[in-house]
Amino acid sequence: MTKGVLKRIGIPLFLGVLHFLFSSELTRSFYLFFGGMIILGTLIVMGLVVFGKTDYLGASYFGFFGLKLTLFVIIYYQQLEGLSNKNNLERMELLTPLVLSLFIEALGLSSILLDKEQDKPNKNN
């Protein structure tokens, strides 16, 4: 399962690291926030898998996503308020950490869910 997850998230993770290295300080802080949230989300998913509660993976992901965005807006409210003064390219640079973290989380979670579906016995037999 871990090998499949790493295989699916490899490209977005590599692109995120590249962008992190060449981005501004504010964008790097966004990356650190979303990176921390990915680690926390991974721990939650691993806990659900270990305790056999994989039926709750999708619902827990959406709940965690809402909590993550709320926390992001609370922490970075001042910086987000100043986005109206920036040009479109700078706005896109600040959105890149969010988009890449969404791809990494969604691809990793879909890999786990697909692996879970393959473990179920075929009901037709």
**Pair 38, 54: CB distance under 8 Å:** no
Q: Quick one: pLDDT at residue 125?
A: 46
* Structure confidence by residue, pLDDT tens digits, 76-99: 888 888 777 888 888 888 888 888
Kindly report which listed range (6-10, 26-30, 43-47) carries the lowest average pLDDT score.
Answer: 6-10
Q: pTM of the prediction? A: 0.78
Q: Quick one: pLDDT at residue 1?
A: 61
Q: Please, what is the average pLDDT of the chain?
A: 82
Q: What is the 3-state secondary structure (H, E, C) of 28-63?
A: HHHHHHHHHHHHHHHHHHHHHHHCCCHHHHHHHHHH
Q: Quick one: pLDDT at residue 122?
A: 53
Q: Quick one: pLDDT at residue 55?
A: 82
Kindly report which listed range (48-52, 70-74, 119-123) carries the lowest average pLDDT score.
Answer: 119-123
Q: How far apart are CA 16 and CA 12, in angstroms?
A: 6
Distances (CA, A) of 87 to 41, 82, 98, 103: 32, 11, 18, 25
* Structure confidence by residue, pLDDT tens digits, 95-125: 888 888 888 888 888 887 777 666 555 555 4
Q: Is 124 helix (H, G, I), strand (E, B) or coil?
A: coil
